[in-house]
Chains A and B, each alone.
Chain A
Amino acid sequence: MLPPLAILGITDWGAFLTDLLAFFSIYLAISISLNLEMGYAGIPNFGKVLYFAGGAAFSGSVAIRVAAVLLKVSGNPVGTDNFIIANNMTTMLQHNIPVSVALIAVTLLVGGLVGAFLGYISIFPAIRLREDYLAMLLLGASAFFQIFLNNYTPVINGTFGIGIPDLFAWAGSYSTLAATLLITAFALIVYVYAERLVRSPLGRTLRAMRDNEAASEALGKDTVAIRRNVLIIAAVITGIAGALFTIYSGDTNPGIYDRVTWTFWPWLIVIMGGVANNFGVALGSFVFVFLTKFIDVEKFSLQSVIPFDVNWLEYLAFGSALILILLLRPQGLLGEKSSATLNESKVSGIVERATKEPERAKQETEAET
């Protein structure tokens, strides 16, 4: 065995890359859903953390309750004994693949349902209010939701949070990797779905609605229904992402769901990568997650030099980065591409025919006379 090589201060590259992939996938899914709302449908959603926290907290809460029933564990699974119970469950699940898979399915289902419900609620303000009022309302609602989780103990035991059993315990030492691959698969599905959606007739309708709502209504598009559908789809994606994050991290705690991490960073990613450009968003997610994770590892070497907590520099840097992007390159790394409905050779063919047609007609009339 070779001694672990410390390249750039990272000793465990496997763990580093797994972590990177997991966070990249989570942020990719959330940012793509935000891009659907903001970039394509023109709904500025400042409450992403609401759906994420809803999906994460409720799925965790339901998962451990269902596990208690299936594994016949007594005691209050979200009470003070939570961590002992969760640990026991992990041991039990090590050789119980069917129950583990069932629990994963339940967790994802609950995440999606909670997301759908919260998305359904937010339709009412989103359709009626102007964008600035909507932003204030959604910011407020997500702050309130955090207060609710902090104080209403039956969900996730208030501020303490709850641990949930490792649903990939059967994979042994590869459990984190298995969870990561599940998240990656989900992010991939979301990406492909979003790409297909924006290239479909619905995608064109969305852009038409964003650019000129009155005109698209005049063409007979039901803009209210389209908005509603996009909001719910995006909320479901974010809710499931929340559930996946709960599975990955193994616990859920109201303190995690702050608006900087789950609302502001996705906005940063979308604006950095390029509004209304899914590939740009993927690139933005990668750049952002890579930078944060890299800083996470490297900051300890900086800590000894400066007299304050290095974490503050991260806020300073990313906040200023966003302002600079807005000022200097508002379209992001990759801007929105104009969507060609026909390919180029066909378009040029039509143009050619259109210019030649009058000439031919002229020649024909000349020939007749």
Chain B
Amino acid sequence: MSLGLTLTYLTTRVPNFAQGVFVTVGAYTCFSLLRIDRVGPYMSLPLSFILGGVVALAMYLVVLRPLSRRGASVISLMIATLAVDIVFIGIFGIYTDYLSSAFRIPDAKLFFALSSADFTFLGVDGVVYVAPIAVAAITLGLYLVLTRTTFGIAMRATVENPNLARTVGVNTETVYLISWFVAGGLAAVAGNFYVLWQPGEPDLGSQLLIAMFAGSILGGLKNIYGAVVGGLLVGAGEILITTFGASYLGSWVIAYESGIPLLIMVVTLLVFPGGITSVNWRGFFSRRGG
């Protein structure tokens, strides 16, 4: 999820407050396919990716591109992404109403983790194995594309300096379009995985938004690999801090679990605003050693 957010931030220089929408799209693709067509949660991954990508692409083409062409400020762009988020609150609401009335699915508004549809391996749900492998594969794939292909080089050039990239003949517009598609797709895939071990509801994406931003900021908004590290750290931090906090300070800590990404975000912004990948770790360690 953070990966997608960083990708869109890199290309349009605006924090996308509607990133949560793509996650919800993935979550509900998984849910609908499972309940209506009895399609397994892993079979729905490609469709989630495509749907999330299409929504992201539409958002870029219809809202953000015209706005930035008029030279709108960052504030207007942020407001526009918030507006898209609001529009989708309505759309998801209508969709879930439709699901519960047309298909008689009583739990469309709030459903429990779909772990029953998951396979188990050695007594543990499959998603525990599949999700990390998928993240690793996506990261590796992105790394290969970015360093080994012409398109990847064109993309990095666009990020570094759009004007220069255009001068040497890179079609920056295509690069933006593909980045948005991939960003939306990845977020939707993340949503698809998420509902396999956590409950889902229409404003799922909005709730996860803070965690996504925390991951992106921790990793550094200007670095794609940083998002992977940041996302992992925020996820791990949330669970570790809550567990330790609960055993030392009492169970009331658990209620504030979702506050932990915010805490991480504040600390990151105050200590190293560029994110951890911006810190010169080698210099840091050698200074300590010497």
Binding site for B on A (CB under 8 A): 38, 44, 46, 125, 129, 131-133, 135-137, 139-141, 143-144, 147-148, 150-151, 260, 264, 267, 271, 307-309, 311-320, 322-323, 326-327, 330
The answer to whether A313 and B90 touch (CB under 8 A), given A135-B15, A151-B255, A326-B76, is yes
The answer to whether the Cβ of B146 comes within 8 Å of any Cβ in the partner chain is no
A309 touches B97 (CB 8 A): yes
- Bound complex: CA A44 to CA B70 (Å): 20
Are B86 and A308 touching (Cβ within 8 A)?
no
* Complex Cα–Cα for A151 and B259 (A): 12
Which residues of B have CB within 8 Å of A322?
79-80, 83, 86
Please determine whether B72 and A330 come into contact, CB atoms closer than 8 angstroms: yes
Interface of A is mostly: helix
Given contacts A133-B273, A137-B269, A316-B91, 6 further A-B contacts (CB under 8 A): A139-B209, A144-B262, A267-B79, A312-B91, A315-B86, A330-B70
Q: Which residues of A contact B214 (CB under 8 A)?
A: 140
- Binary contact readout B66-95 vs A (1 if CB under 8 angstroms, 0 otherwise): 110010101110111011111111110110
| B207 / chain A contacts, CB cutoff of 8 Å | 143
The CA of A327 and the CA of B66, in the complex, are separated in Å by: 7
Among A264, A307, A319, A322, max chain B CB count under 10 A is at A319
CB distance B256 to A151 under 8 Å?
yes
Question: How far is B14's CA from A284's CA once the two chains are assembled, in angstroms?
Answer: 26
Interface residues on chain B, size class = 35 or more
B193 interfacial by beta-carbon distance below 8 Å: no
- Whether the pair B78, A132 counts as a contact (CB closer than 8 A) is yes
**Taking CB as reference atom, which chain B residue is nearest A313?**
B90
A–B Cβ pairs within 8 angstroms, 16 of them: A38-B75, A44-B78, A125-B266, A129-B273, A133-B217, A136-B217, A137-B265, A139-B209, A148-B256, A150-B255, A151-B256, A312-B94, A315-B90, A319-B87, A319-B89, A326-B72
Q: Once the chains bind, are B17 and A326 in contact (CB under 8 Å)? A: no
A309 and B101 alpha carbons, distance in the complex (Å): 11
B103 within 8 A of A: no
Assess the B76–A330 pair: CB atoms within 8 A.
yes
Taking a contact as CB atoms under 8 Å apart, the answer to whether B87 and A326 are in contact is: no
A210 to chain B, nearest CB (A): 11
Contact B256 A316 (CB under 8 A): no
Please give the distance in Å from A313's CB to the nearest CB on chain B: 7
B98 near A308 with CB under 8 A, answer yes
Q: Which 6 A-B pairs have the closest CB atoms?
A: A316-B90, A315-B90, A319-B87, A308-B97, A319-B86, A312-B93
A/B pair count, beta carbons within 8 Å: 130
Contact call B84/A129, Cβ cutoff below 8 A: no
- Nearest-CB distance from B55 to chain A (Å)? 14
Q: Is B63 an interface residue when CB atoms closer than 8 A count as contact?
A: yes
Chain B residues whose CB sits within 8 angstroms of the CB of A151 once the complex forms: 252, 255-256
Known: A144-B262, A326-B79. A308 touches B15 (CB 8 A): no
Residue of B nearest to A38 (CB): B75
Please indicate the chain B residues that have their CB under 8 angstroms from the CB of A309 in the complex: 93-94, 97
Give Cα A264 to B90, complex, Å.
14
Is B262 a contact of A44 with CB atoms below 8 Å? Answer: no
Alpha-carbon separation in the docked complex, A131 to B76 (Å): 11
* Distance of A325 from chain B, by nearest CB (Å): 9
Which residues of chain B come closer than 8 Å to A44, judged between CB atoms?
Answer: 75, 78
Q: Please name all residues of chain A whose beta carbon is closer than 8 Å to the beta carbon of B210 when the two chains form the complex.
A: 139-140, 143-144
Cβ-defined contact, A132 with B15, below 8 A: yes
Name the A residues within 8 Å of B213 (CB-CB).
136, 140
Note all chain A residues with C-beta closer than 8 A to B83.
Answer: 264, 319-320, 322-323, 326
Docked Cα-Cα span, A132 to B10, in Å, equals 13
* A307 CB contacts on chain B under 8 angstroms: 97-98, 101-102
Whether the pair B86, A264 counts as a contact (CB closer than 8 A) is: yes
**Bound Cα distance A314, B82 (Å):** 15
- Answer yes or no: B278 CB below 8 A from chain A CBs: no
B172 contacts the other chain (Cβ, under 8 Å)? no
In this complex, what residue of A is CB-closest to B82?
Answer: A264
Interface centre among A135, A140, A313, A327 (most CB of B within 10 A): A140
Measured CB to CB, the closest approach of chain A to B206, in angstroms, equals: 8
A144 / chain B contacts, CB cutoff of 8 Å: 210, 258-259, 262
The reply to whether A326 and B86 contact each other, CB–CB distance below 8 Å, is no
Most buried by B among A46, A132, A307, A323: A323
Q: Are B89 and A327 in contact (CB under 8 A)?
A: no
Contacts A140-B265, A144-B262, A326-B67 given; does A311 touch B252 at CB 8 Å: no
By a CB distance below 8 angstroms, the chain A residues around B79 are 267, 271, 322, 326
Q: Are A139 and B97 closer than 8 Å at their CB atoms?
A: no
Chain B residues 10 to 66 lying within 8 A of chain A, measured CB to CB, are 14-15, 17, 63, 66
CA A140 to CA B267, docked complex, whole Å: 13
**B14 and A132 form a contact (CB under 8 A):** yes
Are A308 and B82 touching (Cβ within 8 A)? no
Closest to A271 in B: B79
Asked whether, in the complex, the Cβ of B87 is within 8 Å of the Cβ of A131, the reply is no
Write the nearest CB–CB distance from B2 to chain A, whole angstroms: 12
Closest CB of chain B to A179's CB: distance in Å? 29
A44 to B81 alpha-carbon distance, docked (Å) = 14
A133 to chain B, nearest CB (A): 6
Give CA–CA (A99, B47) in the complex, Å.
Answer: 64
On whether the beta carbons of B84 and A315 are closer than 8 Å, the reply is no
- A326 CB contacts on chain B under 8 angstroms: 67, 72, 76, 79-80, 83
| In the complex, residue of chain B having the shortest beta-carbon distance to the beta carbon of A124 | B270
User: Cβ of A143: which chain B residues have Cβ within 8 Å of it?
Assistant: 207, 210, 258, 262
Query: What is the CB-to-nearest-CB distance from A268 to chain B, in angstroms, rounded to a whole number?
Result: 8
